Amino acid sequence: MTNAPPIDWLRMAGSLVLVIALLLGMLWMLKRLKAMQEKHSGPRQMELLETLSVGVRQKIALVRVGSRQVLVGMTPGQFTALGSWDTAGVAGTAPATVAPTQEHAT
């Protein structure tokens, strides 16, 4: 087994530095594109406010859609709206009345 000449090691190290620099440049460019896309798309209409795990594969989620909040029950095979109410611009307060939704079996 022979040792490679020093020029091969330098070429390999230079190639590695070039590949890492290209990867970092692409990562920077993707972050910029994502930020520009979010800036031009306007305000989000739907937002996940909170989730609570109530079982091994069951969750309850509070979702804001526009000016309404919806309480959603989630299982692996089904999403069910448990209730919804209008937030009316008051953030962080509990709703006075909850409008129950009809459950549909699938």
The pLDDT value given to residue 106 = 46
**List of residues 6+ apart from 52 with CB closer than 8 A:** 59, 60, 61
As averages over each run of 10 residues, the pLDDT of the chain (106 residues) reads 73 94 96 82 82 93 91 94 80 52 50
Q: Torsion over CA of 23, 28, 29 and 35, rounded to 10 degrees?
A: 150
Residue-range domain boundaries for the chain: 1-42, 46-100
Q: Which amino acid is at 105?
A: A
Task: Please state the pTM of the whole predicted model.
Answer: 0.48
The pLDDT value given to residue 49 = 92
